[in-house]
Amino acid sequence: MNTHDLRVIANRVRRRDLQAVFEAGAGHIGGELSVTDLLTALYFKIMSVDPANPRAPERDRLVLSKGHTALALYVVLAEKGFIPKDEIATFLKPHSRLNGHPNRTKVPGVETNTGPLGHGLPVGVGMATAAKLNRANWRTFVITGDGEMQEGSNWEAIMSAAQLKLDNLTLIIDHNRLQQGARLADTNDLAPLAPKLAAFGWDVQEIDGHNMDQICAVLDAGQIVTGKPKCIVAHTNKGHGVSFMSDNVAWHHKVPNEEQYNQAMTELKEAAP
């Protein structure tokens, strides 16, 4: 699939995500819009996964550690064929399996339950270690938020991954510079992130997290450095694609009113490739 097709899918995912948040009256639209391009590239270009066999032993694994952006994952999984597209309309409704955080036991394609921040990368280290022990070739990908990197458990996992030479592990940091209620710089400023990961022995690359060509290039298996886990610092914008949401901390989990929804949907439609 070429990058133009990936951009088309990502735009469609954003619009469906926006609609679902508006209809449900809840969600984390800002972070969902920032992570959409990354999820789209992973599922439609990079990862080896089969919606007809979601537990295939040789599949690649994705852990969405920033689990509050579950809706973006659900929409991508629906686009890929893991769940019916019309099921997105049940998001957050009573008895729906599409909860505010992803559930492995309920949703095909979800690899582990996430929500408490700082848990996903340690789980990913375990997955990558298991693949090494089994001499398997599948890869593990973990997406965290930049605010989430303030959790100490992540840095313990970073040390372990380097010690174990987990070159089958890729950490993608959704570096949108914002977290709930404040900017990263005003909370516990970890930036710049790249030199910190490099100091721990990781191969680190920085990209524009909304540039599909850059995303696909850096995630390609040919970019793996033997003996080193990979970290991709993806510079993104919270609320990407919608003018009044972009880089605005208020839209961490704010819900648009009807006027805002219509404006946002118009902007996303006009931006379609």
Q: How many domains does the chain contain in total?
A: 1
Q: What integer pLDDT is reported at residue 248 of this predicted model?
A: 96
> Is 147:187 a contact under the CB 8 Å cutoff?
yes
Q: What is the pLDDT of residue 208?
A: 98
**Separation between Cα atoms, residue 236 and residue 184, nearest integer Å:** 13
Question: In the structure encoding, which two tokens stand for residue 7, read together?
Answer: 């951009």
Tell me the average pLDDT across 94-121.
Answer: 97
Q: Which residue segment(s) compose the domain that 212 sits in?
A: 3-270
Is 100 within 8 Å of 92 (Cβ atoms)?
yes
pLDDT of residue 106: 97
Query: How far apart (Å, rounded) are the C-alpha atoms in residues 11 and 36?
Result: 8
Neighbouring residues of 88: CB distance < 8 A, sequence distance ≥ 6:
16, 20, 74, 75, 78, 98
User: Of all residues in the chain, what percent carry a pLDDT higher than 70?
Assistant: 100
For residue 79, what pLDDT is reported? Answer: 98
The pLDDT of residue 194 is 98
> Per-residue pLDDT averaged across 189-217, rounded?
98
Looking at residue 189, what is its pLDDT? Answer: 94
Percent of the chain with pLDDT over 90: 99
Residue 273 contacts residue 4 (beta carbons within 8 Å): yes
Calculate the average pLDDT of the chain.
Answer: 97
Q: What is the Cα–Cα distance from 127 to 121, expressed in whole angstroms? A: 10
pTM for the complete prediction?
A: 0.97
pLDDT one-digit tens code per residue, 20-66: 999 999 999 999 999 999 999 999 999 999 999 999 999 999 999 99
Q: For 155-181, what is each residue's pLDDT tens digit? A: 999 999 999 999 999 999 999 999 998
* Domain CATH for 265: 3.40.50.970
3-state class (DSSP) for residue 186: helix
| pLDDT score for 143 | 98
Cα–Cα distance list, 229 to 58, 109, 150, 225 (Å): 19, 23, 20, 8
- Write down the pLDDT at residue 35: 98
| pLDDT on residue 88 | 98
Amino acid 121: pLDDT? 98
Q: What pLDDT does 4 receive? A: 98
> Once rounded to an integer, what is the mean pLDDT over residues 243-253?
96
